[in-house]
Structure 1
Amino acid sequence: MGPVRLFTLLAAGLLSIMTAAPAFAAPKAAAPPAKASADIRRAAQVRLLNDLNFGALTVTTAGTAVMNPSTDVLTTTGGVVSVGGNPYSALFESVSPVKGVVIVRIPNKPITLIRVGGTETMTVSTWTINGSNSRTVNAKEPFTFKVGGTLNVNANQVEGLYVGTFTVDVQYP
C-alpha cells in the first residue's frame, strides 16, 4: 500500500470521526434561574341541608320520577305515579374563602339506590342544578344551590325504601 493511499484512508477515517461526533457547547444556567411556587388555600366548605327526596311512588310499568331543582316540582313518566310524601331537591350551602367564580360539580354518572333490607336497585341519572354551575360569589359569604335528578324506576319494582349517596363539590379560584 502506497503512502498516498494510506493518507487517503487515514483522512477519510478522520473525516468520518469528526463529522459523526456532534459539537456540544458548555452548559449554561438559565438567567435568571427558574422559580417554583405554590399557593395553599383553605378549602371551600360545603354543607348538606336537605337530602334529595323523590317522595312516595307507585309503579305499574317502567318509568321515571324527575325532580326539578329550580322549582322543587316532581314529575313522573310511564307507569310511575307520585302518591304523596314530601318530594324535594337536595339543598347545599357553601362558603368560598375567596371572592370569584366557583364551579359546582354535580355527578355526571348515574348512582345506584339499593332497597333497605334487600338487593333490588334503581338508578338516579341526568343530574341537574338550579341555575348555572358557575357562580360568582363573595368571600366568606354563604350561598346555596339545589340538585335534582331522574329516578329510573323498573317495571314491577319491589316495594321498599331505596337509598344511595352522591357527591357534589365546589371549586374556586
Structure 2
Amino acid sequence: MKSNDYLEEKPADIDELDEKILKLITKNARIPFLEVARECGVSGAAIHQRVQRLLNIGVVHGSEFVVSPQKLGYNTCAYMGIYLDKAKYHTQVAEALRNIPEVVECHYTTGPYAIFVKIQTKTNKHLKRLIDEQLQDIEGIARTETFMSLEMDFKRQVPIK
C-alpha cells in the first residue's frame, strides 16, 4: 500500500460544459457524440476531447452493458455483513470472496461488520448452499448476518451538480 492511499481524493476540476456532458452520457451511455454536441452547442470534436479528458482524469470510467440478474434467473438478492476473527484478515477474506461469482459487490465498512457484500443467487436454496458450502468455510470469517432484499426500489448515480 502506498503512503498516499489514505488521503482523501480531491474532486476533479470540471466546468459547466463537463457537467452537461456528464448528465447526458450518464442518462444514456450509447448517445452519439454528435447528439451530445448538438445539445451542448459545441462541435463533435470538442465533445470527443472532453469525454476523453473525463476518462483520463477518472471522472468516468468504462462503458458496459448492465445485465439484468432476473433475466438470467438470479432472483434472490441478499446482503451479508461479515464479522472477521481479526481485522488483519480483511485482505485474504476479500480475495476469497472475489473467487465466488455470486458475490457481486464487496465493501470494507465501519460499524459492526468489517466487510459488507451483495450476493445474487438463483434461488433461496442456492443462497443457503453458497453460505453453507463456500462463505462459512473462508478462513478469517468469524460469523455472518444475511439480509434478503425483497425488491429494489431504485438505483442511481451520484448527482452531477
Rg bigger for which structure? 1
TM-score when normalising by structure 1: 0.24
Flag the structure with higher helix content: 2
Flag the structure with higher strand content: 1
